[in-house]
Structure 1
Amino acid sequence: MKIGILTHHFIANFGAFLQAYALQEAIRQEHPDDEVYIINYIHLKHFIINTGGWFRFYAGRETMGEWIQKIQLPGTFYSARHKHMNLTRRCYDADGVNRLGLDVIVVGSDEVWNFRDTKSDAEIKFGRGLNCKRLVSYAPSVGNSTPDGEIPEYVTEGIRGFKAISVRDSLGLQLVRHITGKTPLKVLDPTFLIDFPMEEVRLPNKDYILFYYAENLPTHIKDQIFDYAKGHGLAVYGAGECDRRYSAVTVNLTPFQWVWMFRNARFVITGTFHGAAFSIENERQFKVYLTQKNRIRKVNDLLETLGIENRGIDDSFVFDLERQEKEIDYKAVNERLRQKRNKSLDFLRNEIR
């Protein structure tokens, strides 16, 4: 049987790469006798906007050296995709995908069902025009798309055409239930289903605080974190991101080096879903600062699912590593993850067939 995964694999984003790779490996694990592919479907508008964004220079935030590393990232992701993903030939529409002769197409994960995002929305992600024996969704996120207001016809008809549906978050559950009248299974993001290879980043042997896209973190909070680090002999790094104040330039990372940065951090501060996810997977203490509506919903849903809702940073936040590095009880979190991981893998095992 030929199984294809249709997702946002092609953009230069650590979370997007890692969820696609993880879903590929999880399906391989559950269906070892079948052929598993990442469908190399390219949404040109999404690709161009994403790639172009890496070439912007932020004079107040990054140095020229950091910018030079940053503009190399699209090439780093390109190499990683061709090394670690079993890609089909390139496709630009449903006809191209149909010519691949796939028996099963799995749509997910990431924000593949965010039909209100004008840069990434694609009817094909809802199954429009696809011909295969079985169409399955695994953990799609709807981003900031809700059942309220007008829902495009291709979304309603497309979702009704899936043979099996799972979702990643509560908004996705609400949308599917609104359209089909049935409650889909809520599963884990695929990054929770496998163990990732490690690629070391050469850094001084020193404990560090890790930032990953906590945009707009208030200056007084950021200042006190850097002051604390300086006073306690800690380094501060960014996971594939730029800031003049970081202890070293760690921008042009491979996806597995990015994972290594989380695994070895003393503490993480992030504003993204996968920043929180990889903190949890690596049993790191962390805090989140969320400003984008779609991220607020996705991250809070994950934290509620795992019983660790108290991760937010407010204006009164005071950084104190000795106290905060004991806040999360990972024994309880890991037990919840174990139960949900089993249900998620059961879905992949049973519904793809």
Structure 2
Amino acid sequence: MEKPASGTGVLTFHRCINYGSYWQARCLVEGLRSRGYPAVIVDHDSWRIRLAEWMCALRPVLPTPVPGTDYPLYALKLAKFVRTIASFQRSPRFDLDHPKVLDRFERVVVGSDEVWNLAHPWYGGCPLFFGVGIRARLVAYAASFGNYNASNGLDPIWADRLRAFDAISVRDQNSRDIIKNALGFEPELVLDPCLQFMPKPDGGWRGPVRPFVAVYGHNFSEAFGRAVRRWAESRGYLLLSLGYRNDWANRQWITAGPHDFAHAMARAAAVATNFFHGCAFALRYRKPFVCETSPYRATKIQNLMAWVNGQKHLVPPTAPPAAYDACLSEALDPNLLDRIELLRRKSDVYLDLALG
């Protein structure tokens, strides 16, 4: 007699060598478990994608050249991610490129991350993330189309697949517009799992003792680096670059693992970033922060900041020193924090209705 489907699977990009991807997966699984749903990661694997991830992890700051001395450091960071990802509670592994019918779960939660980004260099257009072959209640939580712009429209084949979902929520307005235009309804806007649930890193702090500013991202403009360094030096703060080389920072912690990253964001005096999850972690830990947008990430960062009323934290390279001072010196606006708390309650309501 076949064992009936049970439990909750979380289908996301859990093997990415990226702090945000790791933590959104972990926070969603732990958040669902805290609500009484025995969630595990749906453990898809692909040598094609794994090779692409590893090659990117060894040269993550392209088009900036990677110094030969940095390759061993990025390799150690990669090894830490592989070990940490292996600790996820997971389903039996299967081949993403040749999946069998997925029918062991009562429900599958697709998201967060850019699971529907048709422009993603190696995950783009993967049918599984659109529910193909899944025999379970399908729920999307904080799913995103990433930098795939709403103006491109959505081919009917993808729209038809999304109609199989019992509930859909997204984490940005661009994704909401795509769903509205293609399916004729506005999905719920919910918080990324790193904002919805508290990241809880393991282990202790292995970083600097002196106060520091967490620098998270790469390929910042020279003007941004100069402005942040000027501010940090005026206050005696160390600039600690997490996961990537930024020569304008005082210290390069390229080998920081996922838990080192979360500890650093929680302990930082302030955050300087150009990444979505740099903003998300700064908001979650209530840290002053400044963000420079980049073309690849502009849509999701600008959407997040507009949604929480945090636009002042986005600065152009031409911004005057006073703009950096305001972002990095002042505590987060109480109205911004109240807005996030309201959105957290709305996201809770969505989860209760979608999973119940």
* 1:140 shift after superposition: 0.5
- Quote the Cα distance in structure 2 between the aligned partners of 1:124 and 1:205: 45
Within 5 Å, give how 1:35-54 maps onto structure 2.
35-54=38-57
Greater shift, 144-153 or 134-143, is seen at: 144-153
Map residues 1-353 of structure 1 onto 2, 5 A cutoff: 1-30=6-35, 32=36, 34-56=37-59, 66-83=70-87, 85-93=88-96, 96=99, 98-99=101-102, 101-121=104-124, 122-132=126-136, 134-149=137-152, 151-198=154-201, 199-217=203-221, 219-293=222-296, 295-319=297-321, 323-327=326-330, 329-353=332-356
CA distance in 1, matches of 2:312, 2:351: 31
- Return the alpha-carbon distance in structure 2 between the equivalents of residues 89 and 297 of structure 1: 35
**Structure 2 CA distance for aligned equivalents of residues 210 and 291 of structure 1:** 18
TM-score by length of 2: 0.89
Query: How far off its partner does 1:229 sit?
Result: 3.3
CA deviations on 1:285-340 (whole Å, 9 max, x unpaired) are 111111224x1111111111111111222233344676444445442222111111
Q: What SS class does the counterpart of residue 17 from structure 2 fall into?
A: coil
Does the CA-based 8 Å contact 1:39-1:88 persist in structure 2?
yes
Secondary structure of the residue aligned to 1:102 is coil
> Structure 2 CA distance, aligned partners of 1:44 and 1:153?
30
Is this contact kept in 2: 1:168–1:187, CA < 8 A? Answer: yes
Asked if the contact 1:211/1:269 (under 8 Å) is kept, the reply is yes
Q: Check conservation: 1:214, 1:289, Cα contact below 8 A.
A: no
- 8 Å CA contact retained: 1:94, 1:128: no
CA contact (8 A) 1:169 1:301 kept: yes
- Alignment partners' CA distance in 2, 1:62 and 1:235: 23
Q: Aligned pair in 2 of structure 1 residues 322, 205: CA closer, same or farther (>3 Å)? A: farther
Give the whole-Å Cα distance in 2 for the aligned partners of 1:277 and 1:324: 15
Give deviations 1:100-154, integer Å, cap 9, x for gaps.
511111110000011122422111101122222x111111011122343463343
Percent identity, aligned pairs only, is 21
Is the 1:271–1:288 contact (alpha carbons within 8 Å) kept by the matching residues of 2? yes
Aligned equivalents of 1:306 and 1:92: distance in 2? 38
Asked whether the equivalents of residues 286 and 332 of structure 2 are also in contact (C-alpha less than 8 Å), the reply is: no
Provide the C-alpha distance between the structure 2 equivalents of 1:277 and 1:260, rounded to a whole number of angstroms.
14
Partners of 1:279 and 1:285 within 8 A in 2: yes
**How far 1:66 moved relative to its partner?**
4.0
Query: Equivalent residue of 1:120, what SS?
Result: coil
Structure 1 residues 104, 228: CA separation in 2 closer, same or farther (over 3 Å shift)?
closer
Give the Cα–Cα distance (whole angstroms) in 2 for the partners of residues 264 and 140 of structure 1. 29
Q: Distance in 2 between matches of 1:205 and 1:165?
A: 44
TM-score by length of structure 1 reads 0.89
Deviation at 1:280, TM superposition (A): 0.8
Query: For structure 1, which segment, 15-24 or 137-146, has the greater mean C-alpha deviation from structure 2 after superposition?
Result: 137-146
CA distance in 2, matches of 1:24, 1:251: 27
CA-to-aligned-CA distance 1:184-221 (integer Å, 9 cap, x gap): 1111101112222244443332222221115241x244
Q: Secondary structure of 2:95's match?
A: coil
Do 1:114 and 1:143's aligned partners in 2 also have CA atoms closer than 8 Å? yes
Q: Is the alpha carbon distance of 1:170 and 1:214 closer, same or farther for their aligned partners in structure 2, counting shifts above 3 Å?
A: same
Contact kept, 8 Å, 1:108 with 1:139, in 2: the verdict is yes
Alignment check: 8 A CA contact 1:8 1:110 kept? yes
In the alignment of these two chains, the number of paired residues is 347
Q: Is the 8 A contact 2:153 2:181 kept in 1?
A: no
Unaligned runs of 5+ in 1: none
Residues 191 and 347 in structure 2, CA contact (< 8 A), matched pair in contact too: yes
What is the alpha-carbon distance in structure 1 between the residues aligned to residue 260 and residue 138 of structure 2? 33
Q: 1:137 to 1:204 in 2, by over 3 A?
A: closer
Structure 2: runs of 5 or more not aligned: 1-5
Who is 2:3 aligned against?
none
